[in-house]
């Protein structure tokens, strides 16, 4: 009951303070102080705290030292005198000493003798401190024996002078601390601003970066430690962004270039038709055939570009289902045999497996690899397609005895619109997008592509798809 009343009373008393603290916190939160200001304030506050601690310790230290000196001289003499003259101490007041009062208590702590000031025996340090602070009085406490009985002694001394000196010392320390603050503040402020300078510089430079000056980098020289690391990381990030941006730009320019050729061809034929084709049947037929080819070519290119763009924008959707890989492998075998009469074709599907994936896309990826084998293998060459299980993957391997790929081209053939020198000079069709698309499809199925090739001898492409269930 009493407790709850006290609690509510305390709450009521503290309520205004809590409101003030809350208001102050929200006020400071709203204020957007700069980091330099915050660092400076923290250091200045730290300095003030240190000065206050220094003032306190020197004051207390001085006081304790003086009291110890006093105890060793005056107090020891007084105690000796009292003990020596005990119990005849009634004339004690006559003695020339500095004390305020003397109290002697018997074994039961009842007053035995008193010059008339204290009521109770004082021995606790807290009481002693209280007396020092509020009454400017130091109370010595001690005990002695007389005829087998214990007696307790309290002597109180005025310590106003010592205290005054102690406060003076504290005042001097505080004043010198305050003077020091005048020197400290400009140093702390300038150091903090110097420390933060690189960040400001970074912000200014970062603000100016656009696609037009994407090669701008932060100056690492005057940054230090973590800021240097931050600038370095930022610069590395910009390198990556710039790299990606350049690839994208190159891709756009290459794609436009690829589209320019069929359009130029179509335009040429249209002009020819315009001039002579209306009456010349041979020109008419040739032009229609060429325009048809070129539009097919363009359509193929645009569809491939759209596929890649969808993948870049992450809007490419795979319609995945469980299906037997053999079902599409058989279809591919039939189709290839139908369209390719120029090469010796071998199909060996050793195992079957259930795969979770987009049937159409997986078929497209395999087609891309087989089409390339057909394109880059001279007539009469061999193309071997096999299917089997290897560890956690179903592998579709396409091996040809074609023109092969140079070592330096091997890591570039998956780049968009990249075609090796040989395939371009031999005027073999293609836009250099097939393998990029195959790679996108494989990655979308958590699969892998492996290539091995010997220039002039042939190539071997393996598509690896993770499978759900094997069927031997």
Interacting residues with ligand ADP (CB under 6 A): 368, 372-373, 376, 400, 402-405, 413, 418-420, 423, 430-436, 459
d(CA 52, CA 181): 12
- By beta-carbon proximity to ligand ADP, the closer residue of 434 and 444 is 434
Q: What tokens were used for 221?
A: 């020289």
- By beta-carbon proximity to ligand ADP, the closer residue of 320 and 452 is 452
Q: How far is CA 429 from the centre of its chain?
A: 48
d(CA 385, CA 405): 19
d(CA 413, CA 435): 7
- By beta-carbon proximity to ligand ADP, the closer residue of 58 and 364 is 364
Q: What tokens were used for 35?
A: 């980091």
- By beta-carbon proximity to ligand ADP, the closer residue of 118 and 304 is 304
- By beta-carbon proximity to ligand ADP, the closer residue of 155 and 440 is 440
Question: What are the backbone angles phi and psi of residue 298, rounded to the nearest 5°?
Answer: -65, -40
3-state helix, strand, coil split of the chain in percent (to 5) is 60, 15, 20
The distance of closest approach from Cβ of residue 430 to ligand ADP in the complex, given in angstroms and rounded to an integer, is 3
Q: Give ∠ CA 46-50-55 in degrees, rounded to 5.
A: 150
The distance of closest approach from Cβ of residue 420 to ligand ADP in the complex, given in angstroms and rounded to an integer, is 3
Strand bridging mode 344-349 / 382-390: parallel
The distance of closest approach from Cβ of residue 431 to ligand ADP in the complex, given in angstroms and rounded to an integer, is 5
- By beta-carbon proximity to ligand ADP, the closer residue of 363 and 431 is 431
The distance of closest approach from Cβ of residue 326 to ligand ADP in the complex, given in angstroms and rounded to an integer, is 24
- By beta-carbon proximity to ligand ADP, the closer residue of 70 and 418 is 418
The distance of closest approach from Cβ of residue 372 to ligand ADP in the complex, given in angstroms and rounded to an integer, is 3
d(CA 130, CA 120): 15
Using the 8-state DSSP alphabet, how is residue 155 labeled?
E
- The SS3 call for residue 434 is helix
Helices (H) and strands (E) in the chain, counts: 12, 12
The distance of closest approach from Cβ of residue 304 to ligand ADP in the complex, given in angstroms and rounded to an integer, is 8
All residues at 6 or more sequence positions from 18 whose CB lies less than 8 Å from its CB, including other chains:
none
The distance of closest approach from Cβ of residue 455 to ligand ADP in the complex, given in angstroms and rounded to an integer, is 9
The distance of closest approach from Cβ of residue 255 to ligand ADP in the complex, given in angstroms and rounded to an integer, is 13
- By beta-carbon proximity to ligand ADP, the closer residue of 402 and 444 is 402
Using the 8-state DSSP alphabet, how is residue 447 labeled?
-
d(CA 365, CA 358): 11
Residue 361 and residue 400 in contact, taking contact as beta carbons nearer than 8 Å: no
The distance of closest approach from Cβ of residue 373 to ligand ADP in the complex, given in angstroms and rounded to an integer, is 5
- By beta-carbon proximity to ligand ADP, the closer residue of 218 and 440 is 440
- By beta-carbon proximity to ligand ADP, the closer residue of 170 and 436 is 436
Residue 364 and residue 441 in contact, taking contact as beta carbons nearer than 8 Å: yes
Handedness of CA 79, 83, 89, 95 (dihedral sign): negative
Residue 290 and residue 269 in contact, taking contact as beta carbons nearer than 8 Å: yes
């Amino acid at each position: 009951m009493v407790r709850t009343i006290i609690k509510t009373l305390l709450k009521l008393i503290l309520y205004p303070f809590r409101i003030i603290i809350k208001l102050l916190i929200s006020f400071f939160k709203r204020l957007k102080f700069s980091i330099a200001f915050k660092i400076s304030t923290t250091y200045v506050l730290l300095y003030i705290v240190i000065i206050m601690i220094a003032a306190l310790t020197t004051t207390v230290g001085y006081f304790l030292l003086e009291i110890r000196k006093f105890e060793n001289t005056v107090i020891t003499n007084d105690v000796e005198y009292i003990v020596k003259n005990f119990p005849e101490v009634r004339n004690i007041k006559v003695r020339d000493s500095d004390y305020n009062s003397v109290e002697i208590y018997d074994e039961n702590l009842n007053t035995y003798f008193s010059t008339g000031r204290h009521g109770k025996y004082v021995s606790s340090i807290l009481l002693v401190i209280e007396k020092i602070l509020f009454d400017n009085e130091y109370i010595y406490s001690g005990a002695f024996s007389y005829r087998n009985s214990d007696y307790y002694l309290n002597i109180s001394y005025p310590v106003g002078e010592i205290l005054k000196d102690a406060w003076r010392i504290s005042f001097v320390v505080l004043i010198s601390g305050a003077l020091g603050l005048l020197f400290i503040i400009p140093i702390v402020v300038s150091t903090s601003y110097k420390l933060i300078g690189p960040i400001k510089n970074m912000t200014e430079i970062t603000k100016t970066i656009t696609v037009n000056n994407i090669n701008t980098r932060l100056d690492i020289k005057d940054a230090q430690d973590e800021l240097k690391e931050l600038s370095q990381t930022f610069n590395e990030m910009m390198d990556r962004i710039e790299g990606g941006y350049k690839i994208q730009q190159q891709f756009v320019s290459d794609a436009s270039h690829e589209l320019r050729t069929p359009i130029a061809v179509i335009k040429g034929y249209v002009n020819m038709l315009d001039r002579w084709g209306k009456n010349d049947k041979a020109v008419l037929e040739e032009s229609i055939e060429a325009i048809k080819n070129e539009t097919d070519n363009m359509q193929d290119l645009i569809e491939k570009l759209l596929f890649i763009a969808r993948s870049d924008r992450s809007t490419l959707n795979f319609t995945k289902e469980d299906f037997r890989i053999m079902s599409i492998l058989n279809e591919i075998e039939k189709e290839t045999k139908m369209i390719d009469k120029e090469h010796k074709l071998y199909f060996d599907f050793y195992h079957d497996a259930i795969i979770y994936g987009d049937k159409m896309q997986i078929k497209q990826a395999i087609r891309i690899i087989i089409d390339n084998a057909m394109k880059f293998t001279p007539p009469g060459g061999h193309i071997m397609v096999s299917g089997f299980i290897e560890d956690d993957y179903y592998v579709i391997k396409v091996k040809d005895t074609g023109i092969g790929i140079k070592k330096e081209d091997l890591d570039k053939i998956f780049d968009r619109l990249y075609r090796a020198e040989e395939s371009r000079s031999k005027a073999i069709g293609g836009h250099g997008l097939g393998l990029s698309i195959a790679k996108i499809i494989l990655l979308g199925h958590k699969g892998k592509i492996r290539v091995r090739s010997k220039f002039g001898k042939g190539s071997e492409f393996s598509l690896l798809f993770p499978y759900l269930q094997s069927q031997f």
